[in-house]
Every structure is written in C-alpha cells, then in structure tokens.
C-alpha cells in the first residue's frame, strides 16, 4: 500500500520502521520543521537513511502543501503523533482516506494532553484509538480501540512508553490490514460521553497541599515528566517528579517535611504521606531528593507550598 506518513519523534520513527518491515511503500513523510539548534527529528533521520522524501512545511495548511501532497498519489495517510492542524483537503486526498493515532479511549480525553489528564483525574483505565480524523480535534469516527490499565504507580512517561506507545504501533498496523481487506469500520463517537482536555501547563500543575494526598499524588504522576508538579521551598520554586504514596496517617500539617533520608524526603498530607524521590530546584537540573535535601540542609518541620 502506498502510504504518506505524517508524524514526529520516536513514535513516528517506530511507525515508519514498522511500515517498512511489513513491506508497505512509504511515499513520503511529513515532519514539523527542526528547531534551530535542536537535534534532527528521529523520524526525519530514519526517513532520510531510507531515501524517503521528507517534507517539513511550517503548517500543513500552507499554500502549496496540498498540491505536493496530491502529487504523491497516496492510497492512505497515516498520522502518528501529529501536533499540526491537518486540513480536510489533505485528510481526504489519499484514495482510502487518512487514519490517526490518539492516546485515549475516545470520545474521552480529546486533546493533546490526554495522558496527563487521565492520570491527574485518577482514571484506572485508558487506551488508544485509531480514528478517521475530520475538521475538528479528535472527533472523527472510530476505526479501532485498544484498552490499557493505568497502574497506581504509572506516570505519564511509563504509561506512554510502556503501554500506549507499543499498543499504538500495533493498532496502526492492524488498522491498515483491516483497510486493505475492506473491513475497516467507521463508528461515530458518542458526543454525550465526550470530554476535551486543555493542554496541561505549569499553571495546571501547582500542588495544593490542602487537597487529599491521593489527589496530590495523582497530580505529580500526571505531570511527570512534563510539565512537572510545582511547589516551593523558602520562596524558591521546586518541581517534584518521582514519588511514592504511603497511605498511613502521620502527624504534621499537609506539606510539612517529616524527615529526609537517603531514600528521599517524606512530606505529610491529608490521609497519608509522600516519599519524594526526584526533584528539580529552580534554575537547576533534576536531582535525587536526598541530594537536594543535603544541598539545602533541609530540616524537619519546614513546609512546602507556593507563597502567595
């Protein structure tokens, strides 16, 4: 099948490799432009090594993009980790249409931060959807879905790379087989169940230590590795990443440091406490919480929390 791949990063690269290993004909790949001073995108690099044409328009809706896309005469378009808006003219250009990977069980968690919000909200199950994209964001009919459990210790990083990443590649290949056999479905999304999640940014990741400790823990997991849950110590911003939840009551005000050790920093909360293992002080690289505690001479009784 003659395919045009639109994507980026490691996921786009692995989808390309899977397509080529199956003997699909990849006519070209479309990748966002490289940022000045940054490394070449892995998808771009792999395509160039294989002699596959690479196009990097600023926007997919820019003048001339559709004409060049049409000249490629694709049978199918495949969108693998796409952050650029792709116009309907390009979506409908391939003979068999275009399919898209999305890391949630649509119509739940539409939007680019679907993994973050699933964890922040305390969901226990998520998955991936292969859909037929349309003019709106993640609203097109569904071709295929696969479920994945969200474990109590999953972060955005582990959920994506260990579960939704490989599941997505598998589902894209399975979808292509269904399309080839003429068995691909187009199931309309149930709009009554739809949720759209705004991009998860630093302002969404500020820890409120007055919240139940489970909610604080979910926020930290759901912003790890990006954008990082934010609190403060001594009027300096402090981001928290890896941590462990202990559901045992402790004495101490929420946000109060109970103790620090070579295992990390113990912080009191409502209904339990957290063992913080990895942090990033303001203006510094990430480091272990125990290293940070020694560096700033952390003392029991100090409190975490953004000063107003």
- Whether residue 308 has pLDDT greater than 60: no
pLDDT for 118-162, tens place per residue?
999 999 999 999 999 999 999 999 999 999 999 999 999 999 999
Q: Return the pLDDT at 206.
A: 97
Q: Return the pLDDT at 204.
A: 97
Q: For the domain bounded by 202-295, which CATH number is listed?
A: 3.10.25.10
* Pair type for strands 264-269 and 287-288: unpaired
Q: Which residues pair with 130 in a beta bridge?
A: 101, 144
Q: Which residues pair with 266 in a beta bridge?
A: 259, 275
CA distance 117 to 108: 10
Q: Return the pLDDT at 84.
A: 87
- Where are the CATH 3.10.25.10 domain residues in the chain? 202-295
CA distance 225 to 64: 37
Q: What share of the chain is helix, strand, coil (3-state, %, to 5)?
A: 30, 25, 45
Q: What is the overall mean pLDDT for the chain?
A: 96
- Where are the CATH 3.40.50.170 domain residues in the chain? 2-193
249 pLDDT tier (thresholds 50, 70, 90): confident
Q: Return the pLDDT at 306.
A: 62
Between the CA of residue 164 and those of 115, 122, 157, 161, 229, what are the distances in Å?
Answer: 9, 17, 10, 6, 22
pLDDT for 56-112, tens place per residue?
999 999 999 999 999 999 999 999 999 889 999 999 999 999 999 999 999 999 999
pLDDT for 170-187, tens place per residue?
999 999 999 999 999 999
Domain 2-193, architecture per CATH:
3-Layer(aba) Sandwich (3.40)
In percent, the amount of the chain with pLDDT more than 70 equals 99
Count CA atoms within 13 Å of residue 185 on its CB side.
9
Average pLDDT over residues 26-46: 95
pLDDT for 194-212, tens place per residue?
999 999 999 999 999 999 9
Helix (H, G, I), strand (E, B) or coil at 141: coil
């Amino acid at each position: 099948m003659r395919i045009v791949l639109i994507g980026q990063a490691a996921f786009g690269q692995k989808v390309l490799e899977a397509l080529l290993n199956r003997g699909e004909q990849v006519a070209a790949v479309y990748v966002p432009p490289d940022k000045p001073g940054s490394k070449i995108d892995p998808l771009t690099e792999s395509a160039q090594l294989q002699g596959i044409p690479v196009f990097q328009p600023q926007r997919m809706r820019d003048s001339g993009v559709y004409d060049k896309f049409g000249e490629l005469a694709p049978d199918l378009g495949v969108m693998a980790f796409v952050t650029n808006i792709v116009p309907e003219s390009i979506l409908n250009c391939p003979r068999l249409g275009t399919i898209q990977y999305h890391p949630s069980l649509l119509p739940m968690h539409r939007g680019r931060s679907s993994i973050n919000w699933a964890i922040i909200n305390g969901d226990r199950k998520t998955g991936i959807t292969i859909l037929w994209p349309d003019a709106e964001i993640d609203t097109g009919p569904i071709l295929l879905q696969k479920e994945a459990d969200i474990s109590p210790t999953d972060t955005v990083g582990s959920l994506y790379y260990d579960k939704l990443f490989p599941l997505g590649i598998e589902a894209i290949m399975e979808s292509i087989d269904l399309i080839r056999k003429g068995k691909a479905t187009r199931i309309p999304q149930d709009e009554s169940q739809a949720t759209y999640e705004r991009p998860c940014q630093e302002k969404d990741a500020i820890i409120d230590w007055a919240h139940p400790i489970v909610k604080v823990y979910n926020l930290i997991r759901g912003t790890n590795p990006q954008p990082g849950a934010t609190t403060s110590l001594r009027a300096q911003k402090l981001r928290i990443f890896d941590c462990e939840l202990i559901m045992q009551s402790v004495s101490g005000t929420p946000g109060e440091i109970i103790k620090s050790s070579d295992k990390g920093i113990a912080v009191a909360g409502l209904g339990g406490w957290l063992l913080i293992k990895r942090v990033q002080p303001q203006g510094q690289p990430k480091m272990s919480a125990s290293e940070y505690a020694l560096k700033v001479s952390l003392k029991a009784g100090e409190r975490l929390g953004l000063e107003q």
